[in-house]
Structure 1
């Protein structure tokens, strides 16, 4: 019994010393950490001089000097039809815009893109025809998969996850900021592409921010997957892909102008 009590006392002393030493180590670590991250006392201690950001100037129509101009009103050479890669049959207008030619098919850029800053200007026709999803319906697709809806919603109700400025069938816009029918709208879109593992699993979801006529309507929305007309979003692995403008096949008569993009990869 005495031996047992003696062992218990020794154990208590041993573990007590161990805990004390551990506490000292923790205190010492905190002291060292504090010394390493000591509060700066001079302004230059928190000043960084490299890397120097590249200089970007803004030119005519607000186009940045490092942007790729996809459409400036002079030609349709940067675009092809989605279905067969043929020359674009949409209408090139004298005012520097292009208009969807009904039932000729959607168009896409010849060049592939990943993460981008995209500027697009669009308008519905002044003469109002049809209603709901059949009134001036088009869309801007990032990587041919993720649609920002274009639609004339002026006095024209529809399902809100399919209205103008929605991420189609996924995200309702924070506001409806459209100009009156027949006037030019602008979309400024910040898109970060999803990332996939070699196995095909999605590692990081894509995100979309949309500013419509200066109003934030999609705030870093995390994509669930592709924007499907029927069914749930899909997440098949993909890389860079074209930017697409939609022909909705319903005489939408939507026009586009001043389209440029800056790669963010």
Structure 2
């Protein structure tokens, strides 16, 4: 009898709670009002609140990784710029934490080589040091080029293979649209929450809120070994002998 009475009382309280809200307005939220952002004419164009990292004219938003006091020396021509393998990697002047990034890249039509030696570069989503330290989204020609799946275009290099192969033919412009959530660390330097990334490759989802195990390592498994804050974004001048890639239309929105 006691149990039945208690159950009945609970049901009465629950019903009262449901009927306490009698107007649809009681669940409407009016503030804070979202900021107005004007989209570009097409989805690849920068919206009104974006920071333009390459406007087709100069690399004034980029510097040398070897010496951040020196400007980037990659060649700008025809609203794009081309990797200079002798000049080394380049990175943004600014550092970022969480962001939305758009970048377009092109493998030369006359590309040669095979495997990892065919149009290799990398987009380091957060560059944590002067070497190749950072979190790499692989750039490579995999239209008709076999390699290990966690090293093909759209992969988080040596960590997570892309969901699908979305490569276009060499000579065609390709796009990455990236949502980057930076890792967070405790006061003692231990990991609080890992980095996560979502990537659309030519408009196709290839990384879906993927958790990263740490910065990229060429040998061994990735791990978080040191704490860091906001970081620049880096583009890689890979040392393979194939023809160099080009980039254009790069913009970012801080989140």
Common fold by TM > 0.5 = yes
Find 2:183's aligned residue among 181, 187, 194: 194
Q: Who is 2:251 aligned against?
A: 260
Corresponding residue to 1:184 among 151, 173, 176: 173
Q: For the structure 1 residues 183 and 198, does the alpha-carbon distance in structure 2 shift closer, same or farther, using more than 3 Å as the test?
A: same
Deviates more, 1:119-128 or 1:250-259: 250-259
Instruction: Find the counterpart in structure 1 of residue 197 from structure 2.
Output: 208
* Of 50, 58, 73, the match for 2:39: 58
Q: Tell me the equivalent position of 1:140.
A: 123
- Give 2:131's aligned residue: none
Please give the alpha-carbon distance, in whole angstroms, between the structure 2 residues aligned to 1:103 and 1:202: 36
Give 5+ residue unaligned stretches, structure 2: 128-133
Decide which of 90, 111, 123 is 1:107's aligned counterpart.
Answer: 90
Question: How well do the aligned residues superpose, as a CA RMSD in angstroms?
Answer: 2.0
The structure that has the greater radius of gyration is 1
Higher helix share: 1
State the SS of the aligned residue for 2:111: coil
Q: Flag structure 1 segments of 5+ consecutive residues without an equivalent.
A: 1-19
**In 2 relative to 1, CA 43–89 (structure 1 residues): closer, same or farther, beyond 3 Å?**
same
The structural deviation recorded for 1:103 is: 2.4
Q: TM-score scaled to structure 2, two decimals?
A: 0.89
- Structure 1 stretches of at least 4 aligned residues deviating more than 2 Å after TM superposition: 20-43
After superposition, the Cα gap between the structure-2 partners of 1:170 and 1:38, relative to the gap in structure 1 and judged at 3 Å, is farther
Q: Answer yes or no: is 1:89 the counterpart of 2:73.
A: yes
* Pairs aligned (count): 244
Match of 2:130 in 1: none
- The TM-score, its normalising length taken from structure 1, stands at 0.86
Assess if the C-alpha contact under 8 Å between 1:105 and 1:249 holds in 2: no
